[in-house]
Every structure is written in C-alpha cells, then in structure tokens.
Amino acid sequence: FQAPVHKESSTLRYLSMPFEPKPLDYIFNGTDNSVKQPNKSRFKNPIIFIQSDKNLGFAVGNNLGIKYALAKNDFKYIWLLNNDTVISRNALSAIVAYARNFNSGITGSKLQSYYCPDKVQAYGGHVNKFFGNAKHILDANQLDKCLDYIVGASFLISKEVIDGIGLLPEDYFLYYEDVDYCFNARKNGFNIGVALNSIVYHKEGVSTGAHSLRKLRSELSDVLCLKNRIKFHKKYLGGGLGLYFGLMIAFAYRLLVGQWINIEKVLFRSH
C-alpha cells in the first residue's frame, strides 16, 4: 500500500523516498518500558529499534533512546527528530557544525512546512513571560532577542547538557517538554541556538490531529497545550496573575468558537 502524496509536498519526494539498498541492518531491542544494555551486532552501524509497551508521551519515548545512547557512551550530540519530517541532505552536518562553532547546548533547525515547502513553520520559539503561552518565531531577525526555546521537531542536545540537567521532563506527555528543557538548560548556563542552514520539513500535529492545515487545534492537542501551559507557568514563571488572566482570555476564545468541552477537560478532568 502506498499512501497518497499531498499535491503540495510532491516536490519533496526526492528527500522522503531516498534509495537505500535493502534489506537494512537493524537490531530490535526490548519489549517493555526499560532499556537494555546495547546488544553486540555483527553490523557496524545497524538501525536500533527500541520498543515500549505503552505510549507514555513524547519525553518518555525520546528518553528511551537517550538512555540507550548513554549506555553506549560513544556520542557528543543526540539529535531528536520527529517522525513526521523529511530533511535536507546537509541538515545533520549543518546543525552539528553550528553547535560546535557557537558552543550551543541545544540547537534547532529551520523548520519549514512539509505541505508548503517554501513556507517557514518556525525558527524557534518565544514565551510570553506574563501569560506563559509559547509561540513560534517566524522571522529570523527576531532570534537574537526573542529565542526562548528550540522547537522539539528537530532538537540537537549536547552530551554536556544531558550530563548537566538530565533527561527530558516526563510529566507533560506532549507539548512544552522542549520549552521546559530549554528553560532548564539556560538556567544552568547553557546556550541555545538555531542553525539556519539546517532545513527540516515538518508535517506537524500528526500524532494528535493538530494538522497545520486545520483552522482549529484538535481537542486532544488543545487540551494538552492548555494543561501544560499551566504546569510550565507554575514551574518557571510563578503561576501568578498572568497565568489566570491569560487562561480567561483563552477560555473566552474557546467559548466563542464552540470548544467549551476543552475548557471542561482542562478544569475538571485529568488527561
């Protein structure tokens, strides 16, 4: 079965369907939520698959891979890359070169829309320190004064950062983990930056139905964003008047567009 190709993304087929001789070498490691020690393989550079028996969220899944890498202890950087992306051919070399040249503890790529490849999706992210809402930066000229976090779709972490502050925070399930981790890293003296010549094309929102072409977020996506905004604000921004004033504005908008059920789930239900 071959999935239909969106008409606006057909120009990326040369990136999304590169020729690789088959079969590919791989190792399948683990059937539960723990990570075993690296297996010895007759292959020099096999693909490693690590299986979890539960979906415990973005951070837990990525931390499984990070733990595996830490057990091998043969790396200087770890690149977290979303599975709904395709990359330019020099995306990895460019992001690593930037991290080395600018002593960047966490480094991001220039994210462009998979469906509209000429459209910038994000250079990074900015957080309103009063309301606590996170927003993508769409103008590269704003990076020097507005960059607060690296968007998790392409997220290069140096080993020094992992040794210094540990793994990704696992209490968000989805959304704001990248924001939290960058705030924690910067608080501990690490730099963050964006490699503008590392290009990653991102579909966005595939896991939650929060598709970039939708006018409104999916219910799951919206509820998680609001809940995690509350959690992040209380952790880093004080959880004061700005949080509650911002939520009143957010709730009023959702009432206006008929998403009142999302308000109920944020206030009265756990996810």
Kindly report, residue by residue over 8-17, the tens digit of the pLDDT: 556 888 887 7
Calpha distance 189→181 (Å, rounded): 13
Which of 35-49, 172-186, 192-206: highest mean pLDDT? 172-186
CB 35 within 8 A of CB 68: yes
pLDDT of 20 reads 78
For residue range 213-241, list pLDDT tens digits in order.
445 668 888 999 999 999 999 999 999 99
For 41, 73, 102, 156, the CA distances from 38, given in Å and listed in that order, are 9, 10, 32, 22
Per-residue pLDDT, averaged over 170-188, amounts to 96
Nearest residue to 232 (alpha-carbon basis) of 166, 165, 181, 191: 181
Average pLDDT over residues 27-47: 67
Q: Looking up tokens 């010895």, which residue turns up?
A: 40
pLDDT of residue 1: 32
| Alpha carbon distance 260, 157 (integer Å) | 38
Q: What percentage of the chain carries pLDDT values higher than 70?
A: 86
For the entire predicted model, the pTM comes to 0.87
Question: CB-based contacts of 76: which residues, under 8 Å, 6+ apart?
Answer: 158, 159
**How many whole angstroms separate alpha carbon 224 and alpha carbon 111?**
22
- Six-digit token pair at 252? 């009023």
Note the pLDDT of residue 2: 43
Q: What 3-state DSSP class applies to 53?
A: coil
Q: Which residues contact 132 (CB under 8 A, 6 or more apart)?
A: 229, 230, 232, 233, 237, 242, 243, 246
Q: How far apart are CA 232 and CA 133, in angstroms?
A: 9
- Residue 191 reports pLDDT greater than 80: yes
Contact 194, 123 (CB under 8 A): yes
Q: Give the pLDDT confidence of 123-163 residue by residue, as tens digits.
A: 999 999 999 999 999 999 999 999 999 999 999 999 999 99
* Joined tokens for residue 248: 């009143």
Angstrom distance (rounded) from CA 143 to CA 121: 14
Angle between helices 241-256 and 260-268 (to 10 degrees): 140
